[in-house]
Amino acid sequence: MASETDQTLRHRVKDESDKDATVDNDNTKMKRAKRMAIAKGGLKSISIAILLPLLLSFSSIYFFGDSEHYRSLAKPFWFPPLWALHATSLAMSVLMGLSGWFVWVDGGFHRDLWALSVFLAQLGLSLAWHPVLFWFNANQAGLVISLVHFGSLIGCLTLFRKVNPLAADLVLPCLAWVGFLAIVNIQLLYL
């Protein structure tokens, strides 16, 4: 005959705490899987937001950025070399892509289509500057593009600040860079 202790050892009775632990464990796994899916989607979207403007800028520089005319000019000492212009333009496209991503994540482009239009306008103007100035040697048109680009960046700054202050802060170095490019364009008119 088996004792009562043997019976309890053989037939373990589940209590309610075991069920709660199983449910908690399943909820934790589901939450973790959901967070991983969101993170993968975020990684994909930030990659696109940064790489697309970067590749477009790189293409513009690659096809239109070489200029014997710019190299042969007797420039003041503070003029940047051509490689520095290109490298900084690439860095600014990354910053603007990241800034645009922050606004997109917070729903700023969905709520305010004007913000999206100004963002796309500044992207187009940044892509147009290299061919106009270096390929066509059109200093006056380059100055106009720089000034309009500066205005579009001010628009991005004000519209982005309403959505995400960090996105607006990322626009500030780009604004300074385009202001410097406008000064370079003005000086090129006199050379």
26 found inside a domain = no
Is 78 contained in some domain? yes
Distances (CA, A) of 154 to 90, 106, 114, 148: 19, 20, 13, 10
- Overall number of domains in the chain: 1
Domain of residue 153, residue span: 52-190
Read off the pTM: 0.78
Give the other-Cβ count within 10 Å of 164's Cβ: 19
Other CB atoms within 10 Å distance of the CB of residue 38: 10
CATH number at residue 62: 1.20.1260.100
Tens-level pLDDT at each residue, the chain (191 residues): 555 555 555 555 555 555 555 556 667 777 777 666 665 677 888 999 999 999 999 999 999 888 888 888 888 889 999 999 999 999 999 999 999 999 999 999 999 899 999 999 999 999 999 999 989 989 999 999 999 999 999 999 999 999 999 999 999 999 999 999 999 999 988 87
Residue 11 pLDDT? 53
Structure tokens at 89: 């333009």
Q: In angstroms, rounded to a whole number, what is the distance separating the alpha carbons of residues 169 and 54? A: 19
Give domain status of residue 150, yes or no. yes
Residue 15 lies in a domain: no
**pLDDT at residue 12, as a whole number:** 55
